[in-house]
């Protein structure tokens, strides 16, 4: 309370705007009263006197305005003078100034960089019309283990035609790719498959031509497309007569009807072509559509969710044979729509790590401020004489306090300039960090919004670390005015120590957070995949449906490709499959196990994979029982399947799966199990194992295939060779998405990796700052007691005693800091609990290692001043002062 009132009086003195204004009013009216008195004394009536006085005075407002101008001018002049004085003072202490500016540049730099991420990803509105009214709509069938599930064509049509009041418009979309041929090398382009209202919902107009009309999203009418600005420029050099030209997509001539403006890319950042869906309202499966919708005015997402859920239940009642209808429709039913603001849906899981990083850099800045406040306090002690002289010359306490604050602000502005430079370098280096797959990262930039944030931060930090020294000077001036004299060096040391303890508390919190996340990432990275990702190259091939209409044709293509590749140098083995793990290329479906009731309540889904013989060896997935597929498992022989251990354990925990039969809901043939293989991770390292059913490629042909190649040589030279082999078989087939399996898996960890790299860097920075802080404080402590130590040494105290004395002083500070930090760390671990994988928030290893690290660093930082204390030459020490 005491400190608060002192702070208030300082502020009112430094910025006595309101007070001055009131005083000016009073002065003017007092002057007027005196004038009136004078007139009355001269014999005028009261009214006359008043009138004459007002005339003589002239415009009251103008007079006040002129006085204000004078005061303002004086203030500006003073700030300018103070700033100039501050710069001169700072230049006189270059090492002090450099230390402060570097500390600040680091603190403000990391904050600017992280804020640019937060702003670009979380805060900036989506580039659509009134983006806050846009929502994403999917469904949830929690009881079937599907908390977020796409819509089928039938579900979407039902929801769209339901005349929903809470939604202005709704559109469906999915993403795919297409082979673009007819102009040079075949190319794979990213396609958005959308319903007719897609662009209307987003409220985006085409640059050229038109977007889709109602009815163009029905089978047979969808031979048109809209292209992106980038694609238009790249492929056609921005041809002004683009509308009406034709593209050869998947061997189908498709007419370009529109070009979108630059910067429009949705649903994926790389989407270049939009093609209408061919919606068939009778298809109740598969589930591959998502919907975007525009909320009606005044409607909340939760309202829309309630209304569309009604519609979904309606649909489920009318379609008793669908997955939707398998969920009991009661009050707490797990069948519902999920309506999420579009931005939240896009940003999703990135939000939390980013906010944690923002919190972390905030703590780093606090630590930096504490360091600078400490330095300023230490310097204030040595500036006591300078200030005393200024007070003696008649400088008012508020005037000196203002000057010291100006000095701090000058420091923080210079530091902020350095920080912006650092942040600029950081954002430029963003490409070197694991960022692929992080949403909206392409929009991150250091722009006016971010710079405004930095400017605000600079002023705030300047006030934060400048306030304490200014307050001290103010109080010193007050004391000097009362002729009491005296200085406050003991309280200065107390403030110093409190700041250092606070720094260690904050560093402790950060290090605990970083430690937990690092351990969690380590666990994730050492998760057993079930296959060997090393030296494994993956790529995609898509066969156009028109040219490869018959299953035999696709089998023929794959066989000739395999034959060509088996002899290639650098390739140890290669195989074709319909979907590799981690590539989201797989196919998920319900299945039925012979002898088990078909609609089991669990509603387990299995990953369906078609694979050529040899795929298991390429992937190094162990065959546990039975046999692999053979060339003789073809369209004419018995239908067979291989299941993985995950599925086998579910249905035959004690018995043997071999010889048993399963059926996928897609086709009605029983597949005899001929082998059992090890389970593999399919989508994410942290996910549970999903059951897999493998079928021979010849019995389950696929148009989109993935190629897994186990290599001996370097990837780069192989890629060209494989491309040319493919084009030998069919020159119209592009090979795309060529990636090392380790990169594919690593991509799923990018968000965690980025968070960890940054958080670790920030924690180390915090620890270094805290170490500098404790070093400075201990050095000051030793210097202030130099005389005493000298006497003790002269009287025969052993050096070790003094060494221990100083170290103990340091350890008390650290222990205090750690004790406070434990409370903060508890809050921190709760905040990040959901980001942890197989690590408890109270992980003993982290909770022991972090304090140990802190103590070691602090000991090292204290050791230098401690040694200096024990080596003091008594004679020199006694002669000081």
Residues that bind other proteins (CB under 8 A): 23, 26-28, 30-31, 33-35, 37-38, 56-59, 62-63, 66-67, 69-71, 74, 78, 394
Closer CB to other proteins, 41 or 795, in the complex: 41
Name every residue whose Cβ is closer than 8 Å to that of residue 750 and which is 6 or more positions away in sequence: 434, 435, 436, 437, 438
Between 27 and 185, name the residue whose CB sits nearer to other proteins. Answer: 27
One-character DSSP codes across 844-871: HHHHHHHHHHHHHHHHHHHHHHHHHHHT
With b for 16 or more beta-carbon neighbours within 10 A and e for fewer, the 77-100 pattern comes to eeeeebbeebbebbeeeeebbebb
Select 19 or 808, whichever has its Cβ closest to other proteins: 19
Nearest distance from residue 392's CB to other proteins, in Å?
12
**CB of 373: closest distance to other proteins in angstroms?**
30
Which C-beta is closer to other proteins: that of 69 or that of 838? 69
Which residue's CB is nearer to other proteins, number 34 or number 845? 34
| Residue 44: CB minimum distance to other proteins, A | 13
Q: Where do we find the tokens 């991770």? A: 681
Partners of residue 134 on adjacent β-strands: 294
How far apart are the C-alpha atoms of 725 and 570, rounded to whole Å?
Answer: 14
Alpha-helical segments (H) within 749-843:
750-784, 786-794, 799-832
* Positive/negative CA dihedral, 423, 428, 431, 435: positive
Q: Is 484 exposed, middle or buried (0-12, 13-18, 19+ CB in 10 A)?
A: exposed
Judged by beta carbon, residue 33 or residue 667, the one nearer other proteins is 33
Please state whether beta strands 187-194 and 167-181 pair in parallel, antiparallel, or not at all (unpaired).
Answer: antiparallel
Burial of 768 (0-12, 13-18, 19+ CB in 10 A): middle
Which residue lies nearer to other proteins by CB, 67 or 87? 67
Q: How far is the CB of 63 from other proteins (least distance, A)?
A: 5
Contact status, residue 578 vs residue 702, Cβ threshold 8 Å: yes
> Which CB atom, from 35 or from 384, has the smaller least distance to other proteins?
35
> Which residues, in sequence order, are CB contacts of 362 under 8 Å at separation 6+?
111
Is 66 or 799 the residue whose CB approaches other proteins more closely?
66
Least distance from other proteins to the Cβ atom of residue 387, Å: 18
Residue for token digits 């990702």? 533
Q: What is the DSSP letter of 445?
A: -
Nearest residue (CB) to other proteins, 59 versus 456: 59
d(CA 186, CA 172): 29
Q: How far is the CB of 450 from other proteins (least distance, A)?
A: 38
* Tokens of residue 641, six digits: 């399947």
**Residue 800 token pair:** 């070790």
Query: Residue 168, exposed/middle/buried by CB under 10 A (0-12, 13-18, 19+)?
Result: middle
Between 13 and 142, CB nearer to other proteins: 13
Nearest-approach distance from CB 23 to other proteins, in angstroms: 8
For other proteins, the closer of residues 57 and 453 by Cβ is 57
Min separation Cβ 69 and other proteins, Å = 7
Q: How far apart are the first and last CA of the chain?
A: 38
Alpha-carbon distance of 695 to 594, in angstroms, equals 17
Write down the least CB distance from residue 7 to other proteins, Å.
Answer: 25
Q: To the nearest whole angstrom, how small is the minimum distance from the Cβ of residue 59 to other proteins? A: 7
Closest CB 20 distance from other proteins, rounded Å: 9
**Which two three-digit tokens encode residue 411?**
């420091």
Taking the complex as a whole, the smallest distance from the CB of residue 41 to other proteins amounts, in Å, to: 8
Write down the least CB distance from residue 43 to other proteins, Å: 13
Q: Based on the number of CB atoms within 10 Å of its own CB, is 346 exposed (0-12), middle (13-18) or buried (19 or more)?
A: middle
Measured from the CB atom, the residue of 53 and 529 that comes closer to other proteins is: 53
Neighbours of 527 (CB within 10 A): 15
Distance CA 109, CA 548 (A): 57
Residue 410 beta carbon to other proteins: minimum distance, rounded to whole angstroms: 22
Comparing CB distances to other proteins, the nearer of 37 and 687 is: 37
> Rounded CA gap, 53 and 28, in Å?
12
401 or 769: CB nearest other proteins? 401
Nearest distance, CB of residue 786 and other proteins, angstroms: 40
Q: Cβ closer to other proteins: 34 or 148?
A: 34
In whole angstroms, how close is the CB of 512 to other proteins at the nearest point?
53
CB of 37 to other proteins, least distance (A): 6
CA distance 837 to 829: 13
Give the burial class of 260: count Cβ atoms within 10 A of its Cβ; 0-12 exposed, 13-18 middle, 19 or more buried: buried
Buried b (16+ CB within 10 A) or exposed e, 229-259: bebbeebbeeeeebeeeebbbbbeebebbbb
Q: Dihedral, CA atoms, 608, 611, 613, 615, nearest 10 degrees?
A: -100
CB of 406 to other proteins, least distance (A): 16
Measured from the CB atom, is 64 or 523 closer to other proteins? 64
Q: DSSP for 240-279?
A: TT-TT-EEEETTEEEEEEEEPPTT---SSTT--EEEE---
Nearest by Cα to 111 from 418, 366, 356, 362: 362
Residue in 531, 533, 555, 534 with CA at minimum distance from that of residue 543: 555
Cβ nearer to other proteins, comparing 30 with 852: 30
Q: Is 620:531 a contact under the CB 8 Å cutoff? A: yes
Cα–Cα distance, 95 to 374 (Å, whole number)? 15
* 401 phi and psi angles, rounded to 5 deg: -60, -40
């Amino acid at each position: 309370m005491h400190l608060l009132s002192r702070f208030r009086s300082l502020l009112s003195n430094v910025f006595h705007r309101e007070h001055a204004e009131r005083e000016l009013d009073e002065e003017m009216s007092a002057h007027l009263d005196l004038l009136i008195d004078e007139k009355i004394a001269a014999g005028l009536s009261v009214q006359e006197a008043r009138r004459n006085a007002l005339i003589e005075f002239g415009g009251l407002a103008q007079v006040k305005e002129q006085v204000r101008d004078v005061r303002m001018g004086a203030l500006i002049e003073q700030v300018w003078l103070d700033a100039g004085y501050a710069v001169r003072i700072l230049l006189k202490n270059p090492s002090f100034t450099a230390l402060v500016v570097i500390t600040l540049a680091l603190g403000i730099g990391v904050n600017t960089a992280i804020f640019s991420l937060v702003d670009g990803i979380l805060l900036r509105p989506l580039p659509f019309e009134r983006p806050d009214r846009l929502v994403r709509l999917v469904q949830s069938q929690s009881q079937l283990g599907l908390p977020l599930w796409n819509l089928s064509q039938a579900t979407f049509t039902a929801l769209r035609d339901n005349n929903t009041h809470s939604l202005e418009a709704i559109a469906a979309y999915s993403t795919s790719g297409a082979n673009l041929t007819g102009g040079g090398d075949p190319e794979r382009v990213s396609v958005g498959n959308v319903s007719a209202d897609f662009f209307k919902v987003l409220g985006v107009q085409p640059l050229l031509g038109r977007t889709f009309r109602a009815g163009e999203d029905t089978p047979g009418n969808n031979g048109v497309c809209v292209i992106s600005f980038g694609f238009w420029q790249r492929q056609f050099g921005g041809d002004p007569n683009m509308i009406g030209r034709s593209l050869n997509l998947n061997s189908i001539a498709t007419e370009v009807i529109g070009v979108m403006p630059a910067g429009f890319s949705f649903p994926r950042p790389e989407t270049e072509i939009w093609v209408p869906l061919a919606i068939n309202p009778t298809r109740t499966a598969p589930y591959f559509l998502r919907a975007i919708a525009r909320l009606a005015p005044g409607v909340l997402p939760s309202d829309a969710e309630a209304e569309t859920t009604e519609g979904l239940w309606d649909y489920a009642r009318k379609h008793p044979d669908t997955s939707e209808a398998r969920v009991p429709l009661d009050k707490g039913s797990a069948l519902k729509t999920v309506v999420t603001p579009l931005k939240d849906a896009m940003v999703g899981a990135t939000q939390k790590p980013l906010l944690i990083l923002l919190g972390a850099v905030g703590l780093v800045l606090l630590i930096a401020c504490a360091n600078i406040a400490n330095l300023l306090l230490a310097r204030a002690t040595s500036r006591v004489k300078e200030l005393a002289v200024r007070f003696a010359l008649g400088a008012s306490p508020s005037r000196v306090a203002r000057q010291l604050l100006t000095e701090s602000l000058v420091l923080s502005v210079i530091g902020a300039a350095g920080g912006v430079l650092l942040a600029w370098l950081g954002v430029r280096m963003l490409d070197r960090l694991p960022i692929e797959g992080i949403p909206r990262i392409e929009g991150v930039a250091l722009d006016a919004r971010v710079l405004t944030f930095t400017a605000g931060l600079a002023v705030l930090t300047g006030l934060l670390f400048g306030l304490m020294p200014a307050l001290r000077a103010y109080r010193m001036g007050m004391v000097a005015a009362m002729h009491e004299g005296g200085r406050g060096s003991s309280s200065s040391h107390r403030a110093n120590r409190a700041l250092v303890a606070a720094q260690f508390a904050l560093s402790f919190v950060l290090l605990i957070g970083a430690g937990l996340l690092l351990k969690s990432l380590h666990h994730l990275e050492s998760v057993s995949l079930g296959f060997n990702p090393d030296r494994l190259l993956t790529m995609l091939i898509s066969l156009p449906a028109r040219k490869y209409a018959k299953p035999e044709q696709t089998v023929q293509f794959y066989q000739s490709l395999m034959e060509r590749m088996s002899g290639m140098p650098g390739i140890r083995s290669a195989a074709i499959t319909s979907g590799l793990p981690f590539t989201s290329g797989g196919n998920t479906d319900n299945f039925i196990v012979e002898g088990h009731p078909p609609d089991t309540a669990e509603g387990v889904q299995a990953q369906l994979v078609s694979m050529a013989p040899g795929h298991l060896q390429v992937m190094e997935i162990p065959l546990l029982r039975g046999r692999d597929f053979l060339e003789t498992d073809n369209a004419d022989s018995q239908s067979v399947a291989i299941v993985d251990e995950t599925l086998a354990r579910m249905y035959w925990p004690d018995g043997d799966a071999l010889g048993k039969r399963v059926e996928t809901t897609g086709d009605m043939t029983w597949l005899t199990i001929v082998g059992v293989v090890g389970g593999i991770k399919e989508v994410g390292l942290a996910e549970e194992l999903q059951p897999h059913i493998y079928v021979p490629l010849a019995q389950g042909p696929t148009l989109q295939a993935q190629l897994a190649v186990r290599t001996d040589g370097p990837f780069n030279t192989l890629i060209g060779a494989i491309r040319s082999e493919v084009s030998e078989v069919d020159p119209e087939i592009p090979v795309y998405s060529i990636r090392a399996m380790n990169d594919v898996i690593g991509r799923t960890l990018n968000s965690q990796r980025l968070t960890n790299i940054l958080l670790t860097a920030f924690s180390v920075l915090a620890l270094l700052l805290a170490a500098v802080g404790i070093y400075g404080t201990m050095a000051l402590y030793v210097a202030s007691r130099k005389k005493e130590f000298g006497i003790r040494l002269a009287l025969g105290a052993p050096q070790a005693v003094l060494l221990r004395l100083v170290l103990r002083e340091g350890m008390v500070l650290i222990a205090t800091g750690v004790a406070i930090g434990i409370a903060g760390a508890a809050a921190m671990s709760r905040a990040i609990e959901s980001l942890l994988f197989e690590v408890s928030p109270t992980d003993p290893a982290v909770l022991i290692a972090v304090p140990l690290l802190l103590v070691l660093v602090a000991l090292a930082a204290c050791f230098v001043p401690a040694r200096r204390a024990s080596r003091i030459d008594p004679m020199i020490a006694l002669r000081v002062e």
